[in-house]
Structure 1
Amino acid sequence: MKKVVFVLLVLVSTQIKAQSFQIRGVLPWHNFLSGPSAWNEDDYTKYLDDCQKNGINFIAFHNYTGGGERYLNYVEPMIKIQYKNVLPEAGFDHSGMARWGYLPMKIKDFPFGLEKHFLSTRGVGYFGADCAVTAKTNEERYEKAQSLMQKVLLMAHQRNMQMAMGFEFGVAPPEYASIRTNSDMYWKGDGSLVYNPFDPDATGILYATIDNIIETYKGIDWIYLWLNEHCMFGVNPEIALKNRYMQQFYSENEKFYDLEGVNESLKFLGVWSQAYIQKAYDYVRLKAPEIKIAIGGWGSESQMALLLRGLDKALPQDITFSMLNPDQGKFGHPAFFSEIAKNRDVWAIPWLESDASLWHLQPRVDDLRSQVKKASADKLNGVIGIHWRTEEIRENFETFMFFAQNPDSTNSTSDIYKDYCAVNFGNYAAEYLSPVLAKYDVNGVLKQVASEEYYAYTPAWGKLSQVQLNACNEIILAIDLCTENKPNDEQLQNLEWLKANYEFTLLFDKVSRGLEPAWNLRDRYLIAMEPTVISADELIKAKESLKNIPIRQMMEVFASKVRSRGELGELSSIIQRVWGEYQLLDKFMKTHLLNSNLTK
């Protein structure tokens, strides 16, 4: 909302009965155009001001350095991993790139006059962060990105916020695969290369990464070591353990991972992670002992969850443990965190939003309230909220921060919505809109409408069940009643913004359903070994369905609500993916079907 007032902070009924978390942090995640990958200095300034106002005292960043499958060449320029004079290709995403399923497109090619919402930086023509779209060389991409993040570090410290820079250990940019001097510098995983912590070149890459963080970000408070989301899938431990150094370390440490649910593959992953983390820890202690170390990872049992109890026994106690809450925040942190918290500092990482639904509102007030309170009950010393967008998650963000400071508050989800609505939408909304919003927050009906930014668009995105359709229409009706009951100008604008979100949701459902017949015909045509026979009837239906989709209205409704950099990134993504596919389908129907003899 334009005027952010979290009325919970002044509720007379609220008493701060428990000490707030020592670490109250945020983790704005780089990769998609809806997140910090597209931010400029002024966006960071506004964001950090907002964080300070809401009691944030810690901010962390995660830097991708490659990986398996579609992550292979996903290297971001916040950390410059230069080893043996090799400088990997890196850059933040912009609308001219194809990473994460984007169809590249220049701003001038955006349809229906939508380019007016974008300011093309210095005539480059693509939407993205200035440091990404103005850089002319790979070296400039690093220089400009690191210069920006150096300013962010300074701004964070000026606001009494600690800052962490993170990367994924055991993962290297693709260029390094070809400079190995030993045959087992890495082992082959399922679509990935898993680097050997006892190989000299693999260790050299690790040290070069840490050196660059220390040298570039003077005064950095934390280095954050992340276990890669996919790196160990498919690795054969028997092959890896042929390396005598890895075998010796494994023999000495496998006992820590004799835990329920831990199979041989996970046991190897635990020991491998321990080796990398210990090496990184020792090197940081040697080079910059004042910098603190945290580790993090994804919360699935096949990823990090089952390893932490073993790592807790094996690693120095001044390493802070953290993990993303499982299933994109559907669940809170594991119960065993309370045991680990007796030995070391532990942070939970709730999701302020899921990246499976980044074009939609995601009401999570109830989840965040319970997850932060659980972290307090289990005596964790920190909570960190992962997110991409800033505007659509406002209620989630402020709820998260309120309970991070007041974990013993008895305010209910209904209380939160009532007070939030009173300030941002008016007194009538507090009585009649807030119960509707709270209901759909608690029952979770609208949490996971598909818009999975980490994949390419398909017509499965945006489809609503009848229950979800009814929910959106009920919310829109309640909003309309509020607009008729004399909100002030700012509250009216906020109501219009909220309504546009749900109107977009309904329109997107229609667009995806309308694209689907032509999409399916194209799939049939391209999959078949021989020319496919398509009936005239289904061809006509697919053509009419494509012709009648409300794609222009959908994009214009979304554009009407843009009031943040993240929403501008979403609009760019919607245009690139949905409009891009619409154009391709339209062309396909005309050139491959309508002008052929495939009909009968």
Structure 2
Amino acid sequence: MPNVPQAIQERSANLGKEDFRIFSQDNRLFIIGGSDVATLYGAYRYAELLGVRFYLHGDVIPDEPYTGSLTHFKEELNSPLFSTRGILPFHDFPEGPDWWNEDDYKAYFSQLTKLRMNFFGLHTYPEGGPHAEPSVWIGLKKDIQDSAKVAKSYPATFANTQRPGHWGYAPLTTSQFSSGASLLYDREVYGADILKGTEPFPTTPDSMCLLFERTGKLLSSAFDFGHQFGLKFCMGTETPLTIPQMVRSELKRQGINPESEDATRMLYEGIFNRITQTHSLDYYWLWTPESWTWGNPTNKVVQQTINDIKIANSVLADMNYPFELALSGWVLGPPQNRSGFDQIIPARSPISCISRMWGQDRIERGFYKIKTDRPKWAIPWLEEDPRMTIPQFWVGRMRADAAEALDYNCNGLIGIHWRTRSIAPNVRALTEASWSQKDWNPNFGKPYIETPVQTEDVRIQGKVNADDGRIIKGTKDSPVFNSLCYDMESYLVKVPNGVYTVTLQFCENVYNQQGKRVFGVNVEGEAVATHLDVFAKVGKDTAYEIKTKPIAVKDGVLNIDFNVEVENPFISGIIIKGKTEDVNQVKGEYFKRAINAGGIAYKDYEADLPEGTGMESSQPRDMEAFSFYKDYATGEFGKEIADSAAAIFVSVDGFYGNGGNDNVKIPRPANWVSNSGPGAVMPNQAPWDKEKQKYAFVDHFARLGSKVNGKGNIDRFNYWVNTFNYTKAMAKLGCTRGLLDQAMEKAENMTNAKQRKQFVQKEILPIRIQMSREWEEMMGYLLQTVYTPGELGTVANLEQLSRAGNHFLDKHDDMIQRYTGAALPKEAGLSTQYKGPTRIILLTERSLIEKDEKMILKTIILSSGKTSIPVLKYRQIGERDFRSAEMELIARNTYSLTMPSVSLNGLEYYVTVEEAGNSINYPASAPTINNVIMAF
């Protein structure tokens, strides 16, 4: 055809290796990429033009058939705004990669390519933090054997249901799970397949080495798979290097001082040589520890870290850099100079960090101060772990974080997360923002301008912590003492000149012993507290106040300064009361100002003051999100409810206002429990009749269901209906527990044993029984949302952390039985039976496999009745008729089979079961729209 070769040549000129064009000419469609991978990006972008949407958990193919032209589209030139784009799934909880198997890694790597991402990173916790993980082996070079094998190692593991005590999880067998949840698991002690036979920890030298071997082989296979699509892989350890105790003992046995630089060098030689022998890798990153987020490392610690980094870099240099060194951490660098590490590592080494306060803080401004051309990777939070068990919507924040990262000249954008499906909007928003921002970023393409921040009515530095619903003793204003600001230097509070009494309010809600944090406080230069240890004064979760003598303010600003003694200072509230000074003929008058430090407005308390750091970004904390959610809702549910659903999602996305600080739109009935773990159901003493008003959006969303058409659309819509109902049920349960706590406090204060017994029987036992029914209701909704390994982790979290670890239901059971003189009625127990509709669950959906790869398909049948054995229906692409293959029972309700061979054209399949004469299919859109696997 005339001019087509010339058109291709012209449009191919000057394409970067990840750039691609899509254009039409002479009734033909052309996709041209600057590389093979870029051309693949273009093909996936073409699928999006046809209505398909890609997510980490899988693909969404709309029920409504595409009827437009296949060849005529507006020409597109796509170039990434960030050269490094990807994810950092974090180990430590069952919701994340701890419970991934090899097929999960490969499935997600395929999806990353569809999302036009090119990076995958892993962090490895050290021994004692809380325990060693087997992703990175630490040892001596002489102990490396063939393939992934090692001669010596140490105890390491990932999350499993028998892991004792870590993050507040109580060890349970899965048959102890309530409400039929045990049917989801094929064994009593559940974890990733590589852990089988080693749970909860490997205890023999052979089993310790075996786990490292299995992990190495998994990473080798998975990374090799992902490299074929242009993915780059990164993993590493914390710095300074934590040496496992068994390795320390081996060093000492050989006459080597574990604290010496020689020992560190030898261990890095072992780490890096074993990686090169075991699996491919592109970057090894060293992470500064989490304690640097809220603490102030000493100069000695900072220097130890710098020395450790230099040793690691020297070892890699001696090996001719088989992979690059990178830096990361909870902060960009030491507090004295956040960009200081720029001077100590090679210019080609990337520097990165996650945003502080679970992403509530903005992108680290220190990136902007790094003027070298080195790679700079910003790492926003796609979700925060304190609220791991509930939905989180951060589309507006993902866009804002991406905009700020671009302003700060970052060339990497990486999202930290654990789950996949429940955060699908956040993931897609981040990846879209890494390619284009012009439609929603008003400052896109403009020079970055910093905005000076105010120097009064601010707090200098500081981070916030809030535990909604915590029961605080000694006050009627628990919301004030539930929140706090910590690790701040001072508060600069604007007041009229005058004389004031200042009440400083505190509540220790983290530590369980004295001496853990001690500090001093000065008001207007006068010491009002020294060696203050709030726990030593009143204990935990108890209000404590310091009231100053009258203090004069003469410059319009009340200065409250904090002095570090042990760890970091904190404060919950500030009350300023007094009289303004007389001005000429105008007499002074009464003045009061109250500030809820770390919290939102409450009664006559105003919200916490903004942080003053000198300069800040002019970007809003949340960017416009409606345009994203309209597209998302169209793909998920159909165009009929796209606008209405988008408006509801926007109403629960991001923050109120512009400051973050836990002022989140969506209500959050779960939180991190102090000295425990993430996503715990929180007791809430607010009455449910009042609290439920926050959840009006749940019913508003559900009412849209009558307008949704198509089996796939309905299934995806019901996922969110059940997710929202689950969250609402959790909130109601929290209020019922709060009601029980109040009733028990009343009972404990009764002196008449007979009256107390009657009160417990009449008032308390019904509440306790109600809690069990509400737990079952909550779990019933949750089980309807299980689609991926992440939701299996959520179920385990609730059962092991909230129910067993925190004793959410049975905390008061001993006292109830003591007061009544009888055992609890059987109605107070939990059912183990599943009572919901029959579901077919495929936790892992591979869409791309290698030619001749043998793939095992696993299926869970969640049912309250009797179903037939599940059957795989499949056909090669292009065939007319489906063939059938019966699956085999593994254990409980889990079935499997080896997938039939996949032709180069691909294979189409669905799974079906019969129940009471009815067919139930997965995916729900089958047999019209089915799952597809392609081979290459």
- Where on the TM-score scale, by shorter chain, does this alignment land: which range? 0.7 to 0.9
The Cα of 1:18 is off from its aligned counterpart by: 6.5
Q: How far does the alpha carbon of each residue in 1:166-223 deviate from its partner, in whole angstroms, 9 at most, with x for none?
A: 11122233445656759xx99xxxxxxxx85x44334434443333333322x31111
State the partner residue of 2:84: 23
Moved more, 44-53 or 130-139: 130-139
Which letter maps to 2:134?
A: P
CA contact (8 A) 1:508 1:554 kept: yes
The Cα of 1:90 is off from its aligned counterpart by: 0.5
The Cα of 1:279 is off from its aligned counterpart by: 0.7
Which letter maps to 2:707?
A: N
Q: 1:470 to 1:418 in 2, by over 3 A?
A: farther
Q: How does 1:51-90 map to 2 (within 5 A)?
A: 51-67=112-128, 71-72=129-130, 74-83=131-140, 87-90=153-156
State the partner residue of 1:139: 209
Q: 1:325 to 1:181 in 2, by over 3 A?
A: same
Is 1:292 paired with 2:324?
yes
The Cα of 1:533 is off from its aligned counterpart by: 13
Structure showing greater Rg: 2
Is 1:446 paired with 2:666?
yes
CA contact (8 A) 2:169 2:801 kept: yes
Q: 1:179 to 1:209 in 2, by over 3 A?
A: same
State the partner residue of 1:396: 426
CA contact (8 A) 1:79 1:212 kept: no
Provide the C-alpha distance between the structure 2 equivalents of 1:313 and 1:427, rounded to a whole number of angstroms. 53
CA contact (8 A) 2:331 2:355 kept: yes
State the partner residue of 1:484: 706
Which letter maps to 2:724?
A: Y
State the partner residue of 2:185: 118
CA contact (8 A) 1:459 1:515 kept: no
Is 1:100 paired with 2:157?
no
Which letter maps to 1:350?
A: P
Which letter maps to 1:292?
A: E
The Cα of 1:467 is off from its aligned counterpart by: 8.8
Unaligned runs of 5+ in 2: 1-56, 144-150, 442-623, 657-663, 823-936
CA contact (8 A) 1:222 1:292 kept: yes
Determine helix, strand or coil for the equivalent of 1:25.
Answer: strand
The Cα of 1:92 is off from its aligned counterpart by: 1.0
Q: 1:384 to 1:169 in 2, by over 3 A?
A: same
State the partner residue of 2:649: 437
Residue-pair matches, total: 538
Q: How far does the alpha carbon of each residue in 1:391-430 deviate from its partner, in whole angstroms, 9 at most, with x for none?
A: 0010000000011122444374110011111110222321
Provide the C-alpha distance between the structure 2 equivalents of 1:380 and 1:172, rounded to a whole number of angstroms. 33
State the partner residue of 1:497: 719
Q: 1:556 to 1:295 in 2, by over 3 A?
A: same
CA contact (8 A) 2:181 2:795 kept: no
CA contact (8 A) 1:463 1:508 kept: no
Determine helix, strand or coil for the equivalent of 1:392.
Answer: helix
The Cα of 1:164 is off from its aligned counterpart by: 0.8
Is 1:473 paired with 2:696?
yes
Q: How far does the alpha carbon of each residue in 1:402-460 deviate from its partner, in whole angstroms, 9 at most, with x for none?
A: 11122444374110011111110222321212112113214331275533388247653
CA contact (8 A) 1:278 1:315 kept: yes
Structure with higher RCO (Cα < 8 A, 6+ apart):
1
Provide the C-alpha distance between the structure 2 equivalents of 1:232 and 1:328, rounded to a whole number of angstroms. 11
Identity rate of aligned residues, in percent? 21
Provide the C-alpha distance between the structure 1 equivalents of 2:77 and 2:759, rounded to a whole number of angstroms. 64
Q: 1:82 to 1:462 in 2, by over 3 A?
A: farther
Q: How far does the alpha carbon of each residue in 1:14-33 deviate from its partner, in whole angstroms, 9 at most, with x for none?
A: 97686421101111111111
State the partner residue of 1:546: 768
Structure (1/2) with the larger helix percentage: 1
Provide the C-alpha distance between the structure 2 equivalents of 1:396 and 1:33, rounded to a whole number of angstroms. 20
Determine helix, strand or coil for the equivalent of 1:441.
Answer: coil
Match for 2:381 among 351, 369, 381?
351
State the partner residue of 2:224: 154
Q: How does 1:188-267 map to 2 (within 5 A)?
A: 196=259, 198-217=260-279, 219-230=280-291, 265-267=297-299
Q: 1:205 to 1:518 in 2, by over 3 A?
A: farther
Moved more, 460-469 or 279-288: 460-469
CA contact (8 A) 1:445 1:468 kept: no
State the partner residue of 1:423: 635
Q: Output the aligned Cα RMSD.
A: 3.7
CA contact (8 A) 2:170 2:801 kept: yes
Provide the C-alpha distance between the structure 2 equivalents of 1:17 and 1:147, rounded to a whole number of angstroms. 36
Unaligned runs of 5+ in 1: 187-194, 235-262, 527-531
The Cα of 1:369 is off from its aligned counterpart by: 0.4
Q: How far does the alpha carbon of each residue in 1:272-313 deviate from its partner, in whole angstroms, 9 at most, with x for none?
A: 22111111011012124131111001038xx75654322212
CA contact (8 A) 2:637 2:708 kept: no
Match for 2:315 among 264, 283, 302?
283
Q: How far does the alpha carbon of each residue in 1:537-570 deviate from its partner, in whole angstroms, 9 at most, with x for none?
A: 7744443322111111111110111111101111
The Cα of 1:40 is off from its aligned counterpart by: 1.0
Provide the C-alpha distance between the structure 1 equivalents of 2:708 and 2:396, rounded to a whole number of angstroms. 29
Is 1:128 paired with 2:160?
no
Provide the C-alpha distance between the structure 2 equivalents of 1:5 and 1:358, rounded to a whole number of angstroms. 28
The Cα of 1:489 is off from its aligned counterpart by: 1.3
Provide the C-alpha distance between the structure 1 equivalents of 2:228 and 2:440, rounded to a whole number of angstroms. 33
Q: 1:138 to 1:420 in 2, by over 3 A?
A: same
Provide the C-alpha distance between the structure 1 equivalents of 2:364 and 2:306, rounded to a whole number of angstroms. 20
Q: How does 1:180-191 map to 2 (within 5 A)?
A: 181=252
The Cα of 1:232 is off from its aligned counterpart by: 10
Is 1:48 paired with 2:109?
yes
Provide the C-alpha distance between the structure 2 equivalents of 1:519 and 1:155, rounded to a whole number of angstroms. 53
State the partner residue of 1:244: none
The Cα of 1:383 is off from its aligned counterpart by: 0.7
Which letter maps to 2:196?
A: V
CA contact (8 A) 1:169 1:206 kept: no
Could you tell me the TM-score, scaled by structure 1's length? 0.80
Determine helix, strand or coil for the equivalent of 2:652.
Answer: helix
Could you tell me the TM-score, scaled by structure 2's length? 0.53
The Cα of 1:158 is off from its aligned counterpart by: 2.0
Which letter maps to 2:271?
A: T
Structure (1/2) with the larger strand percentage: 2
CA contact (8 A) 1:450 1:462 kept: no
State the partner residue of 2:415: 385
State the partner residue of 1:246: none
Moved more, 24-33 or 171-180: 171-180
Is 1:566 paired with 2:598?
no
State the partner residue of 1:339: 369
CA contact (8 A) 1:298 1:305 kept: no
Determine helix, strand or coil for the equivalent of 1:31.
Answer: coil
Provide the C-alpha distance between the structure 2 equivalents of 1:16 and 1:435, rounded to a whole number of angstroms. 31
The Cα of 1:87 is off from its aligned counterpart by: 2.2
Is 1:360 paired with 2:390?
yes
CA contact (8 A) 1:418 1:434 kept: yes
Determine helix, strand or coil for the equivalent of 2:421.
Answer: coil
State the partner residue of 2:244: 173
Is 1:585 paired with 2:647?
no
The Cα of 1:86 is off from its aligned counterpart by: 5.6
Moved more, 346-355 or 108-117: 108-117
Q: 1:379 to 1:279 in 2, by over 3 A?
A: same
The Cα of 1:154 is off from its aligned counterpart by: 1.3
Q: 1:439 to 1:66 in 2, by over 3 A?
A: same
State the partner residue of 2:676: 455
Provide the C-alpha distance between the structure 1 equivalents of 2:251 and 2:197, rounded to a whole number of angstroms. 34
The Cα of 1:318 is off from its aligned counterpart by: 2.0
State the partner residue of 1:189: none
The Cα of 1:231 is off from its aligned counterpart by: 7.5
State the partner residue of 1:191: none
Provide the C-alpha distance between the structure 2 equivalents of 1:342 and 1:468, rounded to a whole number of angstroms. 51
CA contact (8 A) 1:40 1:129 kept: yes
Provide the C-alpha distance between the structure 1 equivalents of 2:758 and 2:666, rounded to a whole number of angstroms. 36
Moved more, 88-97 or 138-147: 138-147
